[in-house]
Amino acid sequence: MNWFKRLALTLSLPLLFAAGEASARTSVFILNYDVSTNGQGTPTATFNPPGSSCSLGLFSNCTVDVQAGQTLSISIGLPTGQVVTGWSGLCAAAGTATSATITIPANSGSAPTCGVVVRSVAPPTPQTGWWWAPGEGGSGYALAVNGNDSMFIAFFGYRDNGQPLWRVATAPRVTTAPSARAYRGTLQEMAGGGTLAGGERGNAQPVNSSVELTANFTSATAGRLTLRNAATGQSETKLIQRYPISGSTVQPSPDNAIWTGWYWDSNQPGVGYFIEQQGNAAFIGAFAYDTTGAPIWYVSSGTVLPTGAGYQLQAPLNSYTGGSPFGTRPPVNTPTPVSAGSLTANLARAGLTLQLSTGRGIVPGFYNW
């Protein structure tokens, strides 16, 4: 929601009652303030001269003495998450800055008025795509935000013994952090689902829900994850940012690239695929289970070639072992790739197909949660 606050500044001037006779009045600054600010605080107004300030709230009045012909500066101090979007009346020339300088008219039959509009800034929505914590290679985050402002995120990393592990969370947005966009949920470890190569349906169930996730984003490409283990009470913070698939910067997806996000096969619940194309490179993650039902993840990335319908990726498909465990602190262990063959992916908005070198073909659809 966007909240608009209109501030009305009324400056009462000396009124001329007769030639050579004037009665000075105290000028009054009046603010009509919308208090639906989501806890973001109250603006302040400062007048120079005389250098006095006042808080602007519902039904609050600020008073300041002025003289005809004097120059008066008005500055608006704003809490985090609010901006001045414009001035009107006598202050119209001030544009969208947080201050206005006016000259009090020498003669006026009524008090001149200034108006300023303050708008609450909606915190940025994090970009859907691959994210990582720089310096922690071999692990990462697949993150998507839907139209209901709910985040679906998977962490892929390692157990204490170096074996692959992934956890997933649905995290609705919370409004307790007005200066950032915050989401909160529980990271669940799943087990019992089918393998990627065989395509068995399996019976995926959560087996560990001890890690609580809070995600705060102050920009669309950077954020902070707080991971709290409810069983031990220990917390870990991860500073994450968008992951560049190729090169040092994140490239935009081509206009006809496949939609970035989560995909799944309804015949194999509990297994998911996350796909993103940046420029002419793609990165695909598959979240499935090994033959014992334990979670295992695979990744495939490389240069894509254009086709009539979209793009195609042909690249090795690997899992990894030996990386640092979940919640680790540096130094980070270097993981070892474990080949799972190769993957051919036809990436088209009209439809996605995945072909494993084992012979299995997969036709997942876009996942809406």
pLDDT in tens, 156-179: 999 989 999 999 999 999 976 555
Q: Which two tokens stand for residue 282?
A: 């793609």
Query: Cβ neighbours of residue 206 under 8 Å, at least 6 residues apart?
Result: 188, 189, 190
Query: Over the stretch 302-340, which tens digit does the pLDDT of each residue have?
Result: 999 999 889 999 999 999 999 988 766 666 789 999 999
Is 95:186 a contact under the CB 8 Å cutoff?
no
Q: What is the mean pLDDT of residues 195-202?
A: 96
Distance (Å, rounded) from C-alpha 195 to C-alpha 190?
13
What residues form DSSP beta bridges with 51?
none
Query: Over the stretch 205-217, which tens digit does the pLDDT of each residue have?
Result: 999 999 999 999 9
**What DSSP character marks residue 123?**
P
Distance (Å, rounded) from C-alpha 343 to C-alpha 354?
7
% of the chain with per-residue pLDDT over 70: 82
Ranges 178-182, 235-239, 267-271, 356-360: which has the least confidence: 178-182
